[in-house]
Every structure is written in C-alpha cells, then in structure tokens.
Structure 1
C-alpha cells in the first residue's frame, strides 16, 4: 500500500490495542478485515489498509506478532479482523509421524517459522532448506496457502529470547537494527553465537 506523505495520520482511526482470537469471541464482530502475510503481522506502529479501503493507524504499546483471527480494537470501539494472507510456502510431507517429528526438529533447529499440522509442515520457501529436507527424505511441494506458524514458547513479548544462552549487552532500541544488522523478528536479534 502506498501512503501519501502529506496525509495527516492523526486523522486516521487508531487501533491502540488488540485481542487474541480466543478472547475476541465476546463483543462486536469485526466491521472489516485486513489480510497480512506472516512478516507483515509483526508490527507496533503502522498504517494498514482494510479490505474495504479504510485506513487505520495501528499504534500498539510494544511490538506484537498478530495472528490469524486476532482483532484490532479501534479507539471508537470498532474491531478489525486479522486474516492470514496466502503466501508461497513449501508443504512438507513425511513417511510417518516419527519422520515428521524429525523434520520438525531440523526446521526448529534453524529457527524457521513453521506451521505444524497433523501430517504436514508448512514453511516459507527457501531453496536451501528445500534441498536439506529432500535430503532427509521429505516430500516437498510448492503451494500457495495462508501461513500461520506456531508461536514460540517465548513469543509473548516482541523481543523475548528463549534460547538458554547468553545474549550479551543490548545496545539497540526496539524496532531498530541491532549491532549485527538484524531486525526485530529475527530469532537472533540482539545477540550473536560467536
């Protein structure tokens, strides 16, 4: 979406909070939705265009990973739904459940976002990872589908690190590249394994 730089963003409806999908069942239904790719659902302050064309200023207190089914709560009480956009992903199939769990381990060991379902895994396309998975005996097929990866165990805060190792000093601000050039959302943001 292209924004006009002379637009007064203070005039846009503001969404200062959100509800997780499980909490959003009570109250009004969303008046509109926005379709966002996995990487676009990681946000704090951004103008989003809803499906019917209205623009909304998302102004959350901290960086947040929104999920399919979550709702933005506008200051005027209206709600806008979050829908996972279709993305180019790999569908990974295994020989059996044990093989599927082994493939999950290899994907997780590389800190890749993964949608894990009974009988298959979805990941964003990466030809190097595809070759690795095929080398491990997986069947890998290119598909286009909504991508809703599982949330990490430490995903409650947009800057959590749950790897169980030292992270050194944090000389970066939230929403800015760290001293290694990594952006928030990168599992190694703020630290190096060297």
Structure 2
C-alpha cells in the first residue's frame, strides 16, 4: 500500500467514529515526521510506503488509511527531552536567547519549553539556575531547524 495523502488527524475525529474501527499504528521517531517519502511498518507487521504529494510534515495522530473497519495512524516514540520551566519572563528570555544562538529547535507546551537532550544545554541551565527536568516524552511534531545563516 502506498499512502499519498493524510486522511485526517485522530484529534479532529468523533470518538464514536474512532471506536468502531480497528486501529493499527505506525510508530515513528519524531525526526522521521519530516520525511515525506519513507517505508514504514505497522504494529501489526504490515509494510506501508508513504509518498506524500503535499509539502507537509507528519504529525502524531495523522491517519494514513481509513475504511469502515480499519484505521492506520501515526504515533510518535518518546524523545529524550529537557523540559525547561522558567519562573519568570526574564528566565524565559535568557534561555530562549541562549538556545537561539545555538540554533536549537524548541517546542512549547503551556508554560514549558522542550528541547532535545544535549549535555551542554543541561550544563547551561544548571549554570543559569533555570529549573528543568530531563524526561522521555512524546511530542506531536518534529523538532525542525529554521533555515538561517549569519553571513551572506
């Protein structure tokens, strides 16, 4: 089976519509969510080719296939993350500036800043005395670097 478009996202579906279907999952590392062309395997052992026609990243919960009885969706494996919990706008600005200088991609969930684990970032947070914890957590989308160069 070759998948060329995402049908929907499970977060946007009615609970009753989901429950009447058998669900298979494709587990991906968050870094693979940016790949439009890849070969994957479901948790039931079925091989699927993904060749998305539209220019978009995959997201956790994206439905690759759905009929009256079955549904195949994307799920994301947990990443090793640093979860930063600044106590003030000043701390948020300080760490955001420091991470931006290192071109590290970040994600935000409520009042937390998420970055992929890096021992240098951990040392920086300790030095700046900004609260953080290291944990394995699923993210909904890939950590994406924003293209930028300092020179022309």
Q: Which runs of 5+ in 1 are unaligned?
A: 1-12, 152-184
Secondary structure of 2:135's partner?
A: strand
Equivalent runs, 1:1-194 vs 2, <5 Å:
13-19=1-7, 21=9, 24-25=12-13, 29=18, 31-62=23-54, 64-73=56-65, 79-96=71-88, 98-148=90-140, 186-188=145-147, 192-194=149-151
Which structure carries more relative contact order (alpha carbon 8 Å, separation 6+)?
Answer: 2
Summarize the Cα distance change of 1:148–1:23 in structure 2 as closer, same or farther, 3 Å threshold: closer
Deviation of 1:71 after TM superposition, in Å, equals 1.8
Summarize the Cα distance change of 1:106–1:19 in structure 2 as closer, same or farther, 3 Å threshold: farther
Q: How many residues align?
A: 146
Q: Which runs of 5+ in 2 are unaligned?
A: none
Inter-partner Cα distance in structure 1 for 2:94 and 2:82:
17
Summarize the Cα distance change of 1:71–1:141 in structure 2 as closer, same or farther, 3 Å threshold: same
Inter-partner Cα distance in structure 2 for 1:50 and 1:121:
31
> 1:170 matched to which residue of 2?
none
